[in-house]
Chain A
């Protein structure tokens, strides 16, 4: 089952990229995610970085160990599961005009071999997962744009002091 959420953020991709690839920030904007821990000592981001990831869906926290399999700065970061529920996720960032970024968060999930119950469970869980992704990109936009406004204000204050 594949779900996705999209949003446009008034900030350059580089700034959005700094947020989505920083594992210490993930829990601050990812809705429903209860764990995003670095599981690859010495490699906290980039190709091969591993994380223990859990998302609350229904009555369980579902996830497992994931590994970053694509890291094309500042446009694409994809991860896939090593253990736990089968999953593949992707942050897709694209320029959409000056200082604007179109952000898409995709997540495919399932359990191979689970049969009809797996098929049903994937669909029953979809609204909850989709809602988590939608809330996540909304919160990401809020945080990125807030960070950008704060940086601009700091720059203005610095300029005023210099003059």
Chain B
């Protein structure tokens, strides 16, 4: 459950553009000229990915499946990550809500799992809850089960459908940029300037609830996002992948790309849910997107700093 991100107004079915600086052209579309064998391989991979990205279907979320899998999630969250989620009472008991989180842990992102468990047990699996994810995540065959949890491709249509249905929607504006940040930037909220979530909340007049987590970036040693490498290989244009992360992670050792995931170290995951921000109540009838963005980022960073000050040792928490 990684690389989850929001998408912006120009995107279409998760194949075009995300509002936060995603790929600017359709996958494998015109204007892409990656030469040679490597280029053909990348085009083939892009074609595979594009074909595998499921058409948005919110009905794929399966409450019975989620309920039956809660013990598995609970064992993992409680025993391996010693997860602790605070402030779930800050989420409005009903109605659509945009949950905005910081994202950590590479392609195996424990914060999403811990939060999904906490949300599902607190509000019940009957409450509709969706998460936006990167196309690549949803196209991986062994991650198909995520759709049963309500994970859908990051696109404005999916986000709108989810909010229109009255659901809670979890987005990670930082997406792949944030989730693969170096470990020494672990205690920094980094949305890379992506403001689409603010526009989304304004258009649908839903409250934003910040969700701040810590510990995910301690589940491996993240060395670099590998943005240059990604550009060099054309992954940004072909797969909407602006990064090709490099990390030291179990069981691979040096792990380039994290495409097969990794075994996360048992770092303690702490998540704090902050009070809901009702944009028009707090910022007036026509809120300034930049002002809201700065406020959300600042609030989340302050909370992350407080959570960081509680930790004594990496991994142990």
Q: Give the interface of A toward B (CB within 8 A).
A: 54, 58-65, 83-85, 111, 113-115, 117-118, 120-122, 124-125
In the bound complex, do residue B79 and residue A61 qualify as a contact, i.e. CB atoms below 8 Å apart? Answer: no
A-side contacts of B84, CB under 8 Å:
59
B-side contacts of A117, CB under 8 Å:
69, 71-72, 75
Q: A60-B117, A83-B124, A117-B69 are in contact. List 19 more A-B contacts (CB 8 A).
A: A59-B77, A59-B82, A59-B114, A60-B74, A60-B78, A60-B85, A60-B118, A63-B121, A64-B124, A84-B121, A111-B68, A113-B64, A113-B67, A114-B69, A114-B71, A114-B72, A117-B71, A121-B71, A121-B72
B88 at the interface (CB under 8 A from A): yes
B56 at the interface (CB under 8 A from A): no
Mask, B29-46, CB within 8 Å of A = 1, is 000000000000000000
B-side contacts of A115, CB under 8 Å:
68
B-side contacts of A114, CB under 8 Å:
68-72
**A-B pairs with beta carbons under 8 Å apart, 8 shown:** A58-B83, A59-B74, A59-B117, A60-B74, A113-B67, A114-B71, A117-B72, A121-B74
Q: Give the interface of B toward A (CB within 8 A).
A: 64, 67-72, 74-75, 77-79, 81-85, 88, 114, 117-118, 121-122, 124, 126
Q: A163: shortest Cβ distance to chain B, in Å? A: 52
Bound: A42/B83 CA distance, A: 38
Residue from the set B71, B78, B79 with the largest chain A CB neighbour count within 10 Å:
B71
Q: Which of B67, B69, B83 is within 8 Å of A59, CB to CB?
A: B83
Given A65-B124, A83-B126, A84-B124, the answer on whether A59 and B68 have CB atoms closer than 8 Å is: no
A-side contacts of B121, CB under 8 Å:
54, 60-63, 84-85
Interface of B: prevailing SS: helix
In the bound complex, do residue B118 and residue A59 qualify as a contact, i.e. CB atoms below 8 Å apart? Answer: yes
Bound: A118/B70 CA distance, A: 8
In the bound complex, do residue B72 and residue A60 qualify as a contact, i.e. CB atoms below 8 Å apart? Answer: no
Residue from the set A54, A84, A115, A125 with the largest chain B CB neighbour count within 10 Å:
A84
In the bound complex, do residue B85 and residue A121 qualify as a contact, i.e. CB atoms below 8 Å apart? Answer: no
A59: nearest residue on chain B (CB-CB)? B83
B-side contacts of A62, CB under 8 Å:
74, 121
Bound: A45/B172 CA distance, A: 43
B-side contacts of A120, CB under 8 Å:
71, 75
In the bound complex, do residue B85 and residue A59 qualify as a contact, i.e. CB atoms below 8 Å apart? Answer: yes
Bound: A112/B114 CA distance, A: 22
Bound: A58/B83 CA distance, A: 8
Bound: A65/B122 CA distance, A: 11
A110: nearest residue on chain B (CB-CB)? B71
In the bound complex, do residue B75 and residue A113 qualify as a contact, i.e. CB atoms below 8 Å apart? Answer: no
Q: B227: shortest Cβ distance to chain A, in Å? A: 34
In the bound complex, do residue B124 and residue A113 qualify as a contact, i.e. CB atoms below 8 Å apart? Answer: no
Bound: A61/B78 CA distance, A: 11
Bound: A48/B64 CA distance, A: 25
B75: nearest residue on chain A (CB-CB)? A121
Q: B185: shortest Cβ distance to chain A, in Å? A: 26
In the bound complex, do residue B68 and residue A113 qualify as a contact, i.e. CB atoms below 8 Å apart? Answer: yes
A86: nearest residue on chain B (CB-CB)? B67
Q: B21: shortest Cβ distance to chain A, in Å? A: 34
Bound: A31/B101 CA distance, A: 31
Q: A114: shortest Cβ distance to chain B, in Å? A: 5
Given A59-B83, A59-B84, the answer on whether A111 and B124 have CB atoms closer than 8 Å is: no
Residue from the set B81, B83, B121 with the largest chain A CB neighbour count within 10 Å:
B121
In the bound complex, do residue A59 and residue B122 qualify as a contact, i.e. CB atoms below 8 Å apart? Answer: no
Bound: A33/B146 CA distance, A: 30
B-side contacts of A65, CB under 8 Å:
124
A-side contacts of B83, CB under 8 Å:
58-60
Q: B288: shortest Cβ distance to chain A, in Å? A: 37
B-side contacts of A63, CB under 8 Å:
121
Bound: A115/B79 CA distance, A: 18
Bound: A83/B71 CA distance, A: 16
B70: nearest residue on chain A (CB-CB)? A111
B270: nearest residue on chain A (CB-CB)? A59
Bound: A3/B81 CA distance, A: 26
Q: B183: shortest Cβ distance to chain A, in Å? A: 23
Q: B53: shortest Cβ distance to chain A, in Å? A: 29
